[in-house]
């Protein structure tokens, strides 16, 4: 009989094959069979491994037993944790405070000083270092945590794989590992470099090139290995954030559009069908609170504004505002400024607008541009409890929210990413992707 055809009973006391008991014995608890056809079992405070007929695989007894991995099983005895072979003999005389399971010829253990390391299949330490934590090996690499709380990857000999350190880190899976840096969660490649620029509050491993992630605003989406959103699973929970007793400005990046052409700004690109539907859905969520829509003159923004208004049941046409794009609050001379995009790319321009106080050719000082935008927004925050929508581009929204939140990191907005702004005492409250900040004094009307 093949052990792979067995399963554990629903009460966890024995094993089944084709729904029938594999043997007449009943234990306090059993775990699944694993190669070489042995399963952990526990009865009356003792633990061991059993064969397919339910009989002990050896004469020894332990306090705890776990499954065999790569021919070795972790067990706990009165003198400590260690590994045994299928015949019950010890892998080595070493004893530990805890043992994991072997993967890729290595196993994480914790010594009696509370330090982690990996041991080889002959029971010897794989290297001299000791860590605050060490995880399983996969794809030839494992996560280790240093005393300062940061984590990195090592190879089977204990050598750094890429030398990059993260606040939190997971094992590699199909070439990528989940990692958290100062800006949030991302996926990193084998060199430890982020696979994309966006950051999330939670990420799952890639499965056949796609992963489920969650943003700070509660939005849950499927992304590809480039960080592009492929599917929205749950919309942003904006209603839980915006106040109901005062007017709110929603600064929104336009909805999904086709890829931009090479060496062109793509101002004539329309929305995709799914982009138009998503904008309509956003409008429906705003509903009767929608008071006005102001938009960049660029086609994809105009179409987003129209879809939002229709979704909300509003009849008023959107007002065109050049500060939101074409040329935009950050641009003085569109023709001259276009050279920045050709030279640095869109991401490079955004990085500069967020991190530098200097003006690029044909553009204005970033702080002045932010003040211009806030002056525009403030005009709608004087009375009522309405929602006012401003539709713009990532090259406007990203530096605006990044500078207002003051995190020092670039907020990379997805399609329909939304910043909320409302009055809070003498200042403005700014919210984006789960982060919020009250802005007082800086970026004042006088600056504009």
Per-residue pLDDT at 445: 43
* For residue 216, pLDDT beyond 80: yes
Tell which residue, 125, 183, 121, 181, has the closest CA to residue 154.
125
CATH number for the segment(s) 173-234: 2.40.10.480
**pLDDT tier, 99 (very low <50, low <70, confident <90, very high otherwise):** very high
Per-residue pLDDT at 59: 97
Mean pLDDT computed over every residue of the chain: 94
- Contact 346/354 with Cβ under 8 angstroms? no
Per-residue pLDDT at 448: 34
Report the pLDDT averaged over residues 186-194: 97
**pLDDT tier, 117 (very low <50, low <70, confident <90, very high otherwise):** very high
* For residue 446, pLDDT beyond 50: no
pTM: 0.86
List the chain domain ranges.
173-234, 237-447
Report the pLDDT averaged over residues 79-93: 97
Report the pLDDT averaged over residues 17-34: 97
* For residue 227, pLDDT beyond 70: yes
* For residue 317, pLDDT beyond 90: no
CATH number for the segment(s) 237-447: 3.40.50.1240
Comparison of pLDDT for 440 and 159, the residue scoring more: 159
Comparison of pLDDT for 139 and 440, the residue scoring more: 139
Tokens, residue 301: 């923004």
* For residue 265, pLDDT beyond 70: yes
Report the pLDDT averaged over residues 400-427: 93
Which three-class secondary structure state does DSSP give residue 159?
A: coil
- Kindly report whether the peptide bond that precedes residue 36 is cis, defined as omega within 30 degrees of 0: yes
Burial 84-115 (b: 16+ CB within 10 A, else e): bebebeebeebbbeebbbbbbebbbbbbeeeb
Report the pLDDT averaged over residues 406-424: 92
């Amino acid at each position: 009989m093949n052990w792979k055809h067995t399963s554990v009973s629903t009460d966890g006391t024995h094993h089944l094959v084709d729904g029938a008991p594999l043997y007449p014995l009943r234990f306090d608890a059993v775990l699944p069979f694993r190669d070489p056809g042995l399963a952990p079992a526990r009865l009356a405070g003792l633990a061991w491994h059993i064969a397919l007929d339910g009989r002990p695989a050896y004469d020894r007894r332990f306090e705890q037993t776990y499954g065999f991995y790569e021919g070795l099983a972790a067990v706990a005895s009165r003198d400590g944790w260690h590994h045994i072979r299928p015949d019950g003999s010890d892998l080595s005389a070493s004893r530990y405070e805890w043992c994991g399971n072997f993967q890729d010829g290595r196993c994480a253990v914790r010594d009696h000083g509370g330090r982690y390391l990996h041991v080889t299949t002959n029971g010897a330490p794989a290297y001299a270092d000791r860590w605050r934590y060490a995880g399983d090996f996969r794809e030839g690499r494992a996560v280790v945590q240093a005393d300062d709380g940061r984590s990195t990857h090592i190879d089977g000999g204990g050598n750094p794989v890429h030398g990059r350190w993260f606040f939190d880190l997971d094992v590699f899976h199909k070439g990528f590992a989940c990692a958290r840096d100062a800006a949030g969660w991302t996926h990193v490649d084998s060199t430890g470099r982020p696979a994309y620029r966006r950051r999330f509050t939670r990420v799952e491993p890639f499965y056949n090139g796609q992963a489920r992630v969650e943003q700070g605003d509660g939005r849950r989406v499927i992304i590809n290995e480039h960080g592009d959103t492929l599917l929205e699973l749950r919309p942003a929970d904006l209603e839980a954030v915006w106040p109901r007793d005062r007017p709110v400005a929603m600064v929104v990046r336009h909805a999904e559009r086709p890829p931009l052409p090479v060496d062109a700004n793509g101002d004539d690109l329309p929305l995709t069908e799914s982009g138009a539907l998503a904008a309509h859905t956003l409008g429906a969520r705003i509903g009767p609170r929608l008071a006005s829509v102001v938009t960049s003159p660029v086609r994809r923004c105009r179409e987003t504004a129209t879809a939002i208004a229709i979704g909300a049941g509003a009849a008023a046409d959107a007002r065109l505002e050049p500060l939101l794009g074409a040329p935009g609050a950050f641009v003085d001379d569109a023709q001259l400024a276009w050279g920045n995009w050709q030279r640095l790319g869109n991401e490079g321009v955004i990085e500069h607008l967020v991190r530098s106080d200097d003006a690029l050719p044909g553009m204005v000082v970033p702080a002045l541009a932010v003040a211009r935008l806030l002056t525009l927004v403030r005009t709608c925050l004087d009375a009522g409890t309405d929602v006012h929508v401003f539709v713009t581009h990532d090259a406007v929204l990203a530096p605006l929210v990044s500078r207002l939140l003051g995190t020092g990191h670039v907020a990379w907005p997805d399609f329909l990413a939304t910043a909320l702004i409302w009055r809070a005492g003498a200042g403005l409250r700014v919210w984006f992707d789960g982060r919020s900040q009250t802005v007082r004094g800086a970026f004042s009307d006088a600056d504009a």
